Amino acid sequence: MRSLQFKVTALATVITALLIALAGSLMLVAQRDQIAAQTADSSRRHYMCSVVVCVPLHTRTPATTPVSPVHYASTEIRPKLSLWPLSDPAGTPYQVVGEGPEPVAENARSIASRAQDELNRATLTLLSVLAAVTALVSITVLATTVRVLRPMEVMRAELAEINEHNLTRRVPVPSADNEIARLGATLNETLDRVHRGVEDTRRFVADASHELRSPLAALRAELEIALSHPHMADWPTVVKAALEDAERLQELTTDLLLLARLDADALDKQDTVDLSAVVAREVSRRAMVTLEADEHVLVPGRRAQLSRLLGNLLDNAERHAGTAVVVRLRGGTTATLEVIDDGPGIPEADRERVFDRFTRLDEARTRAAGGAGLGLAIARRIATRHQGTLEATDAEGFRGIRFVATIPTGIPQQRTAAILAQQRVGDEVWQFLNGSIVPAHGHIPEPRPAPAPELDWNLIFGEHRPVST
């Protein structure tokens, strides 16, 4: 009773039966009136009557002309026909209308009986035709629904067999270009996204476990060795190494938490951010960076996340740059942020892969030179959350790489180019980076921008800030 085929067939049958019953009733009423009118016309008799006698006009017997004045009269039989097809024709009532003489009763009953018998046959024939049409419609609708819903049943059965262990299976898609085929294609696209999401999650968990295991193993080994020979251990060195591993673990867990928040939260609350000010503030804390930017480039979004996007790009650029890093910001209907370095560059085959989580190219696999491989992934996720894009392309005029982030502004803005800052360092110049002093020659250690505490806590914990104890 719950079958869609049965429901559709029953509904189509009921609607067809009602329409056919209405049309049949009108046709039967019209047929009855027509038979009654034909019977009355065929039974009508005309007379020429005097005061004494009435002479039928259709008789061929010569009639003498009456002496008294005459008048013409007629008589007809009107049967009272029933639409019930099983009515007894012999008992059909009738009515004699006219001023002529009464017809013979047997003849009148015979005329009414023939009219009723003709109506009964016409009614049975019409009802048979209507019933056949209704049955034909029901069979046609049933066959059509079975044929239309069979691919859906096949897709349902195949979809029921798909679970977390066989996400590579897909539902069969009919060859016809119709709604069922588009539904199957949409289901397969959804399964593709689910498969990619599950695989990304599995790979993410595996990579995160691997990245967390390395500093934990190093930390444990250092502490175990020191504890096994407490009198021989250089405890300041042990504590310093343990602190470095702890900082690496804290940094990695912070990035993982930020990625989880970026994947889960929707960017529903946005502010108007002066991207020029964000870029200027971030660049002012960097070395070997040249900034070329328009003034007052306004974009909708979150200031802390946009600062993190630029900070991650600058971290990557400074890690691989040779002598210079250039940051360009252009306004308009779309804000374009470019970070260019003159480092070794990225092969074209790897320019999309570098945005995957925990992806590190061969040049950046060491702990000293390479991070956990989450910086560019976080940057692209932030750009995507702001309805923008982040791509790696060839650097014009450089031999390195250029990262281009675009963020729609929705507001036409006047472009007023201005070089805001130009900072370079020599081989033996010391600069303050992220609150600590590091030498700028050779390979720059991985700098991590430290935003203002309120920005950092709001980015990580939202409204639930930790309580100092």
pLDDT of 267: 58
User: In terms of residues, how long is the chain?
Assistant: 469
Rounded CA separation 366/382 (Å): 26
pLDDT of 438: 36
Predicted confidence band of residue 329 (pLDDT cuts 50, 70, 90): very high
Of the listed ranges 81-85, 116-120, 250-254, 371-375, the one predicted with least confidence: 371-375
Predicted confidence band of residue 405 (pLDDT cuts 50, 70, 90): very high
Residue 297 pLDDT > 60: yes
Surface-to-core class of residue 49, CB atoms within 10 Å of its CB (0-12 exposed, 13-18 middle, 19+ buried): middle
Residue 267's contacts (CB-CB under 8 Å, 6 or more residues apart) are 301, 302, 385, 386
Residue 42's contacts (CB-CB under 8 Å, 6 or more residues apart) are 111
pLDDT of 367: 45
Q: What is the DSSP letter of 91?
A: G
In this predicted model, which residue has the larger pLDDT, 174 or 421?
A: 174
pLDDT of 60: 52
What average pLDDT does the segment 27-50 reach? 83
pLDDT in tens, 234-278: 888 888 888 887 887 887 777 777 777 776 665 556 788 899 999
Residue 306's contacts (CB-CB under 8 Å, 6 or more residues apart) are 273, 275, 278, 299, 382, 386, 407
pLDDT of 360: 65
Residue 465's contacts (CB-CB under 8 Å, 6 or more residues apart) are 457, 458
Of the listed ranges 249-263, 380-394, 446-460, the one predicted with least confidence: 446-460
Q: Which residue has the tokens 């925990």?
A: 358
Rounded CA separation 367/439 (Å): 18
Q: What is the mean pLDDT of the chain?
A: 76
Q: And the tokens for 460?
A: 């990580």
pLDDT of 460: 44
Q: What is the DSSP letter of 105?
A: H
In this predicted model, which residue has the larger pLDDT, 447 or 392?
A: 392
Rounded CA separation 222/135 (Å): 87
Rounded CA separation 58/193 (Å): 94
Predicted confidence band of residue 390 (pLDDT cuts 50, 70, 90): very high
pLDDT of 208: 74
Q: And the tokens for 449?
A: 């921008």
- Which helix (H) or strand (E) element contains residue 126? helix 105-160
What average pLDDT does the segment 445-464 reach? 45
Give the rounded percent of residues in the chain with a pLDDT score beyond 70. Answer: 80
pLDDT of 447: 42
pTM over 0.95: no
Alpha carbon separation from 85 to 44, 89, 108 (Å, rounded): 26, 10, 21
pLDDT in tens, 90-149: 888 888 887 777 777 888 888 888 888 888 888 888 888 888 998 999 899 888 888 888
Residue 396 pLDDT > 50: yes
CB 138 within 8 A of CB 130: no
Residue 19's contacts (CB-CB under 8 Å, 6 or more residues apart) are none
Q: Closest Cα partner for 310 from 336, 288, 346?
A: 336
Rounded CA separation 146/325 (Å): 67
Rounded CA separation 377/209 (Å): 17
In this predicted model, which residue has the larger pLDDT, 434 or 204?
A: 204
In this predicted model, which residue has the larger pLDDT, 466 or 219?
A: 219
> What residue type is assigned to position 329 of the chain?
L
Rounded CA separation 173/156 (Å): 12
What average pLDDT does the segment 309-313 reach? 89
pLDDT of 37: 87
Rg (CA), the chain: 48
In this predicted model, which residue has the larger pLDDT, 56 or 172?
A: 172
What average pLDDT does the segment 84-88 reach? 82
Find residue 408's DSSP bridge partners. Answer: 334
| CA-based end-to-end distance of the chain | 66
Of the listed ranges 147-156, 266-275, 308-317, 438-447, the one predicted with least confidence: 438-447
The pairs formed by 53-62 with CB atoms below 8 angstroms and a separation of 24 or more are 54/100, 54/101
